Amino acid sequence: MPTIRYLILWLTEACNLRCRYCYRPMAGAPRAMSPEVIDQALSLAQRSGQPFHVQLSGGEPTLVPDLIAYTARRLEALGGRARLGLQTNGTRLTRELVTLVKRHRIQVGLSVDGPPAVHDALRGGFTATAAGIRLLEEAQVPFRVTTVVSAANVATLDLLILLLAGFRHCHGIGLDLLTRKGQALANGVQPADPEAWRQGIGALLRSLAFCNRRRVSPLRWREWDTFWQARTKPGQRGFCHASRGESLAVHPDGTIYPCGQTCGDGRLAAGTVWELQADRLQMLAGRCRPRQAACQTCPAAACCPGDCPSRLFYNDPQEAELVCVLYRTIWEYGQQAAPLDPVQSAVKKGEGYAAL
């Protein structure tokens, strides 16, 4: 049994939005996870005796608030050995649910893809998401934002930073490059052009530096922190827990997969919570680095954590260039005198994105 550091519980297949690039299977009536599956999944993660993180996902997990509450109560019995996170579109947050989140110290991740018009074109529901953000702000609950980057929003990343900077309790942003599966293929959503991506990163960095000079606490950019911390922690390099064989994603029916993006893909199933196939759980381990001759001469190679192993599995090989553009651009900005003072100084002190 491998050590599980990251456990994803896909609490429900149901969702109240229809994202143009949704990765989950759309066939059949949506299913919700049973308490028995939750208990067995937690039991698997506990076997190593090591601390671990539990991420509640879906679908839209706030459609099953009783399962959020159930998981939080079960984890309390572990005495702080496990942390709990919630990834949500924010549209179904209520005062009662925000109170639950605050009481159990659940880490909140919100999915926001850009300023209102861009978000609505890709995901929908911006007005409801903004209402959820206001509830988090009123309750002083910290949250981070995750953005899926595609050709449709790469030019508005700087505007998204300006939008988020207005929320005192927004602590950071992470960018996920588009994975070409599910509705992304059906709806023709395209990945960003490499040059547009490079320009988008530059605009984001300038916007981030501008906002952070004016904020009490800086907005953190996950990819920036991950890149620079890789230099100081070479033994922990790897794009994610799945690339190190340390993650486990559980479908509502109890089937296990290596990570959340592979959840529901029978080709990557690794047994069930009752009968784990540990060797298949390692299918993405070590697969975060596409083979490219350019890596030998890349100035960013010493810090590069690689690419998402599931994205490398689903996407065309030439799209691996996008992650190279990301890290090379970060490297170039990092060589300037003070491109991102508040964030870079915090990273040098060891206060990375994950510490928030």
Fold entry, domain 1-141+246-283: TIM Barrel (3.20.20)
User: What is the pLDDT, as a whole number, of residue 293?
Assistant: 58
Residues contacting 300, CB < 8 A, separation 6+: 227, 327, 328, 330, 331
Cα–Cα distance for residue pair 195/153, rounded to 1 Å: 14
Cα–Cα distance for residue pair 21/189, rounded to 1 Å: 6
Cα–Cα distance for residue pair 15/35, rounded to 1 Å: 20
> At 215, phi and psi to the nearest 5?
-105, 150
Residue 190 CA: distances (Å) to CA of 75, 151, 279, 321, 325: 39, 6, 34, 14, 17
User: What is the pLDDT, as a whole number, of residue 349?
Assistant: 45
| Residue of 284, 329, 291, 323 whose CA lies nearest to 307 | 323
User: What is the pLDDT, as a whole number, of residue 1?
Assistant: 73
Cα–Cα distance for residue pair 236/36, rounded to 1 Å: 33
Count how many Cα atoms sit within 13 Å of the Cα of residue 78 in the half-sphere of its side chain. 23
Helices marked H in the chain: 35-46, 65-76, 95-103, 116-122, 126-138, 157-165, 183-186, 194-212, 222-232, 278-281, 309-314, 321-334, 341-348
What pLDDT tens digit does each residue of the chain (356 aa) get?
778 999 999 999 999 999 999 987 666 789 999 999 999 999 999 998 899 999 999 999 999 999 999 999 999 988 878 999 999 999 999 999 999 999 999 999 999 999 999 999 999 999 999 999 999 999 999 999 999 999 999 999 999 999 999 999 999 999 999 998 888 888 889 999 999 999 999 999 999 999 999 999 999 999 999 888 877 665 556 788 888 889 999 999 999 999 999 999 999 999 999 999 988 888 887 777 655 657 878 888 888 888 888 998 899 887 888 999 999 999 998 887 444 544 445 444 444 433 32
User: What is the pLDDT, as a whole number, of residue 342?
Assistant: 43
CB-CB contact of 228 with 335 (8 Å): no
Cα–Cα distance for residue pair 114/50, rounded to 1 Å: 37
A 10 A CB-CB count for 26 gives 12
- The domains of the chain are located at 1-141+246-283
Two tokens at 272? 């069930």
CB-CB contact of 248 with 7 (8 Å): yes
User: What is the pLDDT, as a whole number, of residue 347?
Assistant: 43
Tell me the whole-structure pTM to 2 decimals: 0.91
Cα–Cα distance for residue pair 89/182, rounded to 1 Å: 18
